Amino acid sequence: MRRLLWIPWRWWRRAAQLVLLIVFLWLFRRTEYSGAEQLAGGENILFRLDPLVGAAAMLAGRQVIAMFWPALVLVGLTLVLGRFFCGWVCPLGTLLDYFHGLLRPITRRTNELLRPRLAAASASSLRATRYFLLIAVLLAAVLAFPLVGLVDPFSLLVRGLTFVADPLLARAADACFAGSGDSWAGTVLQPFVKKHLLPFRPMVFYLTGVSAAILLVIFALELAARRFWCRWLCPAGALFGLLARRSLVKRIPVRVCKACGKCADLCRMDALDPAAGLSPHACTLCMECVDHCPKGIVQFGLGRKAKPEPRPVDLSRRGVLTGIAAGVAIPGAAIAARLGHESPVPPNLIRPPGVGEEKTFLSLCIRCGECMKVCPTNVLQPAIFEAGLAGIFSPRLVPRLVFEQSNCEYTCTLCSQVCPTGAIPRLTEELKHHHPSGKSYFDHNLCLPWAKETPCIRCEEMCPTPEKAIKIFNTFKITKDGEEVEIQQPFIDRELCVGCGICESNCTIEGTAGIRLQRIDAPDPGTEFLLKKPKRLGTPAAPPASR
C-alpha cells in the first residue's frame, strides 16, 4: 500500500508527529498545580513508555515496577512494527526534525560537507556508540548506579524544557507584555497566554546551564548530520533497534536498486545501504523512501518472504567490550570518589517527602525532572555533587533559593504523583506528614531572639502544623533604661515537625538561616545552645529542654 486514503505516507507520519508533539507539550504544561490536589494523571506517560528507563530503574532498584506497563506495550508494538516510535512518536525526534527543517539552508550545506567524513567514522566506531551507551546504562543499573538519567532522551528533554525553556518563555512573555496596560494586548491576550501557554511563574533552577548545553549539543549535531542523535547516540533508540531486528513490518523491497539508489541517499537514519540493503534496527519508518521512489515500487508491509540480509547490529567486539568497561568503570569511579567522605550523605541533603533510604532512592530516580517541574514552590532543585557523582540531577529540597517561597507545601503531594518510578512513593497528605524527610533545628548563634535577644519568631508564625511545632519560651530582659522587655524565644518540638522548611525559607536573617532543615537520619547538629552568650543585662533564664 503506497498511500493511505490517497494521502502519501510521509504526511501521515508528519501529522502523527505534530499531534503527538502537541500532546506531549500539553501534558508538560499540565504538569503543574491547577486547583486540585490530584493531577489528572498521565503527565509522566512519556517516561513510562520508555523501556530503557523502565529496565534501568527495575535493574537498579531490584524490583518490578508495575507503573511501566505502557513500556511493555511499546515493546510489543516494536516487535511487530519496528522502530516506529523514533520516527513517529518521539518528541525529541520531532523537535530535531523541525529544527533541521528550519535551518535547512545551513544544514544542507554543512551536512553535505561532513558526509564523507561521517561515512568513514560511521563505518568504524560511530555506529556502535549507541549500543555502547546502552550496555553501559544497563550494566551500571545492574550495579545500582543510575546512569540512565544522564543519557535517556526524555530525561534530557524534560529537564531542558523545565530548567531552561519554561523559565525563558515566561520571562520573555513578561518582557513582551510589560507596559501593555489596559490595551487589548494587556487585558485579553496576556491573561490568555498566561493561563494556557505559560507556566504559572518563571522558576529558577540549579544546573540550568548544563541542561541547556546538553540540549544545545544534541540540536547542534543536526548541523553535522540529520538525526545525528537518533542515528548514532540515543541508547533508547538502540534498544528499540534491537527489538526491531526481526520486526514483521518492514520496507519492501529490502534491497536498494543498483541503477537508482536514491532511497539510500535520502535515508535519514542510515538504514539503507546500496550494497547490503535494509537494516531494520535503524529504520524508523519515516516513509520518505516510499514517497520518493521514482519507480513507485517501495512500500512497507508484512513481506514474509523478503527477509533482509542478516546483518550484525553494528556492534563490534570492541564496542561491546568498551560498553562493559564503561558500565563497570563509571559506577566504580563514582563509588571510589565517594569513599573519601566521612559521612556519605550530607545532613542538608533533604530529599522530597516520603523518600526513605538514600541508596534506594538514588537507584530508582531516573532524573526525569518531573517532580521539579510540578513543584509549586520551586523548592525542589537538582543536586549538583552533594549526593556524590551518582546524585547529579536528583531532586533535593533547597529552602532558601527563592526567598519566602521555597518550602514544601503542607498539603501538596504533587511530586509523588508524577514520579514515574516510585522513587518518591505515592503519598497522601497524611502519609506525607508521617514520613518527613527532614526536621528543623535552631541555630542559637544566629536566631535573633536567642543570639541577639531581638523579637522575631517569624518561623513560629509560618509553621503550618495544626499544633505549632515551633513553640515559644517567654523570657524577659532588662534594657539599659531599666525597662523590662518580653523576649519570645522559639524552640521546636521535633515530634510535630513535618520538615517542610517554611521556617528556614522565611527566617528573617539573610544568608544562612537561624533555623535549618536537616536530614531525618542526620545526627543532632548541636546548634541549639549558645556558644557565645549575649550581653544580657537581666538574669538569664534556662533554655527549654529540647527533645
Partner 1 sequence: MDRREFLEQVAAWSAGACLATPVFNVQSIVAAERQAKGKSLLAVAKGKDYAALVAQVMKPLGGMAAFVSKDDRVVVKPNIGWDRTPEQGANTHPDVVKAIVQQCLDAGAKRVLVFDRTVNDARRCYVKSGIQAAVESIGDSRAQCVFQDQDKFVPVQIENAKSLKEFHFYKDALATECDCYINVPIAKHHCLSKLTIGMKNAMGVIGGNRGEIHKGIHQRIADLNLVIRSKLTIVDATRILLRNGPTGGKLEDVKVLDTLIASADPVAADAYATTLFGMKPEELGSTVAAAKLGLGEMDLSKVKIITA
Subset of 172-191 contacting partner 1 (CB under 8 A): 174, 178
- 415, 507, 515, 522: residue in contact with partner 1 (rule CB under 8 A): 507
Using rule CB under 8 A, residue 33 touches partner 1? yes
Residues 523, 482: contact at Cβ < 8 Å?
no
Using rule CB under 8 A, residue 112 touches partner 1? no
Contact flags string 346-385 toward partner 1, x per CB under 8 A: ------------------------------xx--------
- 461, 478, 531, 540: residue in contact with partner 1 (rule CB under 8 A): 461
The region of 127-135, 209-217, 226-234, 406-414 touching partner 1 under the rule CB under 8 A is: 406-414
Using rule CB under 8 A, residue 511 touches partner 1? no
- 460, 492, 517, 519: residue in contact with partner 1 (rule CB under 8 A): 460
At 397, phi and psi to the nearest 5? -85, 125
The region of 50-58, 108-116, 351-359, 455-463 touching partner 1 under the rule CB under 8 A is: 455-463
Which residues, in sequence order, are CB contacts of 376 under 8 Å at separation 6+? 32, 33, 200, 409, 412, 414
Using rule CB under 8 A, residue 428 touches partner 1? no
253 preceded by cis ω (within 30°)?
yes
For the chain, report the end-to-end CA distance as a whole number of angstroms.
76
C-alpha cell at 516: 535549618
C-alpha cell at 342: 566521612
Using rule CB under 8 A, residue 343 touches partner 1? no
Q: In Å, how far from its chain's centre is CA 70?
A: 19
- 357, 404, 429, 521: residue in contact with partner 1 (rule CB under 8 A): 404
Of the pair 389, 472, the CB lying nearest partner 1 is at 472
Using rule CB under 8 A, residue 508 touches partner 1? yes
Bridge partners for 441 per DSSP = 516
The region of 114-122, 315-323, 392-400, 405-413 touching partner 1 under the rule CB under 8 A is: 405-413
State in angstroms the smallest separation of the CB of 35 from partner 1. Answer: 5
Using rule CB under 8 A, residue 410 touches partner 1? yes
Residues 50, 162: contact at Cβ < 8 Å?
no
Which residues, in sequence order, are CB contacts of 336 under 8 Å at separation 6+? none
Report CA torsion sign: 299, 303, 306, 307.
positive
Of the pair 378, 527, the CB lying nearest partner 1 is at 378
Of the pair 166, 460, the CB lying nearest partner 1 is at 460
Of the pair 270, 443, the CB lying nearest partner 1 is at 443
At 3, phi and psi to the nearest 5? -140, 155
Of the pair 55, 170, the CB lying nearest partner 1 is at 170
Region for 51 from its dihedrals, namely left if φ exceeds 0, alpha if ψ lies in -120 to 50, beta otherwise: alpha
The region of 247-255, 352-360, 380-388, 448-456 touching partner 1 under the rule CB under 8 A is: 448-456
Give the H/E segment covering residue 506: helix 502-506
Of the pair 242, 496, the CB lying nearest partner 1 is at 496
- 446, 456, 517, 522: residue in contact with partner 1 (rule CB under 8 A): 456
State in angstroms the smallest separation of the CB of 228 from partner 1. Answer: 40
Of the pair 239, 487, the CB lying nearest partner 1 is at 487
Using rule CB under 8 A, residue 466 touches partner 1? yes
The region of 91-99, 351-359, 397-405, 527-535 touching partner 1 under the rule CB under 8 A is: 397-405
Using rule CB under 8 A, residue 464 touches partner 1? yes
C-alpha cell at 487: 523576649
Using rule CB under 8 A, residue 454 touches partner 1? yes
Using rule CB under 8 A, residue 34 touches partner 1? yes
Residue bearing cell 511545632:
469
Residues 468, 461: contact at Cβ < 8 Å?
no
Residue spans of alpha helices (H) in 197-295: 208-220, 228, 235-243, 262-266, 288-292
User: How big is the site for partner 1, counted in residues (CB under 8 A)?
Assistant: 36
Using rule CB under 8 A, residue 473 touches partner 1? no
Buried b (16+ CB within 10 A) or exposed e, 154-178: bbbbbbbbbbbbbbebbeebeeebe
Buried b (16+ CB within 10 A) or exposed e, 496-522: bbbbbbbbbbbbebeeebbbbbbbbeb
Using rule CB under 8 A, residue 291 touches partner 1? no
Q: Where are the beta strands (DSSP E) in 349-436?
A: 380-382, 395-397
Using rule CB under 8 A, residue 433 touches partner 1? no
**C-beta atoms surrounding 68 within 10 Å:** 23
- 273, 291, 386, 409: residue in contact with partner 1 (rule CB under 8 A): 409
Judged on CB neighbours under 10 Å (0-12, 13-18, 19+), 530 is middle
Of the pair 396, 458, the CB lying nearest partner 1 is at 458
* Binding site residues, partner 1, CB under 8 A: 33-35, 174, 178, 200-201, 376-377, 403-405, 409-412, 454-458, 460-468, 472, 488, 506-508, 510
